[in-house]
Structures are given as structure tokens and as C-alpha cells.
Amino acid sequence: MVFSGAGISAESGLPTFRDNGGLWHDHSVYDVATPEAWARDPQLVLDFYNARRQGLRNVEPNAAHSALAELEKYCEVVVVTQNVDDLHERAGSSQVIHLHGELTKARSTARESLVYDLDDRDIVLGDVCELGSQLRPHVVWFGEMVHNTEAACAEIASADRLLVVGTSLSVYPAAGFIELAPPAAERVVVAPDLDRVPAGFEWLRGSATDYLPQLCERWQD
């Protein structure tokens, strides 16, 4: 089991949220990532997520994403990610559960289950679903329900090993899911800095690309 956050994509060139230079330093969450923001100024919200989606065009998975994909040759690997990018999938990971949505998809504002592939296209005002309602980014905004909670929790609760990588573990409920790992599971957290090492975890202090290739090699048994 892998529980990943924005830090795993940082070395591909995507900004994290809370580090210096992170997205929430340049943008107010309340302006771009809440249902209220969407109601107030949908153009601003679309501009923010269209820019994020365009940013994906210029980046590639890094050695950390690739090491996790490679590990599938040796054992079952399920990635539960808070990330809205598609770098785990592009690296070759076959089981990726997105908790906070996916930038490369749009969904209907009338019916949540109507989700459409965008690839790298923008969403513009006037783009509508088959029911005639405006499309919105398929991402979770503050105040909205996390996606795929049941599947993610079930996977974590049955993990033999749990790797936490690239996340400040500051956004709930997602951050709390790692506490569901069985007591006997081996637990490793990879992060350059941490306010608090979660209970029972070995902390590998450094970047994702420094540690994931060697950790995945260690787990090839």
C-alpha cells in the first residue's frame, strides 16, 4: 500500500500545496477550491484548474513513480493518492485510487456520476454534460466528500506494508486513513521534513526519488 501526496510529484516539476512556493501560498483555497468559490466566480476556478491541467502536459513521472510501477513485478501494489495528477498511471501503476479527484476528468454539476475524460483539454463556461448542465473539474473541493473512501480504507486495512510519501498529512479525512493499517504492517514514511512522525513508522528523511528506488528494491521479496 502506498499513500501518496503532492511531494511525490514535486521532483517532476509540479508544485506542492503547503511548501514555500506551493499552490496555497499563491492562491487562496477559498477563491478556487470550494463550492462557494465555484458559485461566486466559476471562471476563476476554471482558470485555476485549467492551468493545473496544462501544467501536466510538460511534466513526466519521476524515478519515485517509476519505482512503484516496477514493484508490481514482485508484489501487489495499490496506490491511494491525494494527488489529482496522473503521474502514477503514466509511470505504469495499475491500481491507483484517487481520493481528491483527477485533473484529466470533468464532471457534471447536475449528476456526480457523469464523469468525462478531458485529457489535456480546458473546461470552458458553456461546456455541458449530456443533461445540459455546466461541467466542472472532477476534483474534491474543501467541504466536499472525499472520493473512493471505502475502497481506500479497505486496501489500507489489509496492507502488509504501508509506504507514506510526499504528504504533510494535514488534510482530513484522508490523512487519518493511514491509521487503519494492521498493527503488524511494516510502515515507512518518506519525507524531507515532518512535524510529527506518525506512530509506528520508520522515517526515511529525504526526497521521494532519493528513497523510493532503494525502498522498492528492499521490498522485492
Binding site residues, ligand OAD, CB under 6 A? 5-7, 10-11, 16-19, 22, 33, 82, 100, 140, 165-168, 170-171, 190-193, 207-208
Shortest Å distance, C-beta 208 to ligand OAD: 4
| C-alpha dist (Å) from residue 155 to 64, 80, 85, 108, 163 | 21, 9, 21, 28, 13
Burial 37-68 (b: 16+ CB within 10 A, else e): bbeeeeeebbebbbebbeebeeeebbbbbbbb
Shortest Å, Cβ 95 to ligand OAD: 19
- Dig out the grid coordinates for 125 from the structure: 463556461
Buried b / exposed e over 1-10, threshold 16 CB at 10 Å, is bbbbbbbbbb
Which of 62/134 has CB closer to ligand OAD?
62
Q: Which of 65, 98, 100, 138 is catalytic?
A: 100
Toward ligand OAD, which CB reaches closer, 33 or 45?
A: 33
Q: Of 11 and 127, which CB lies nearer to ligand OAD in the complex structure?
A: 11
Torsion of CA 23, 24, 29, 33, to 10 degrees: 30
Closest separation between CB of residue 32 and ligand OAD, Å? 9
Pairing mode of beta strands 115-117, 101-108: antiparallel
CB of 209 to ligand OAD, least distance (A): 7
**Active-site annotation holds for 147:** no
Nearer to ligand OAD, 7 or 73 (CB): 7
Residues classed as catalytic:
100
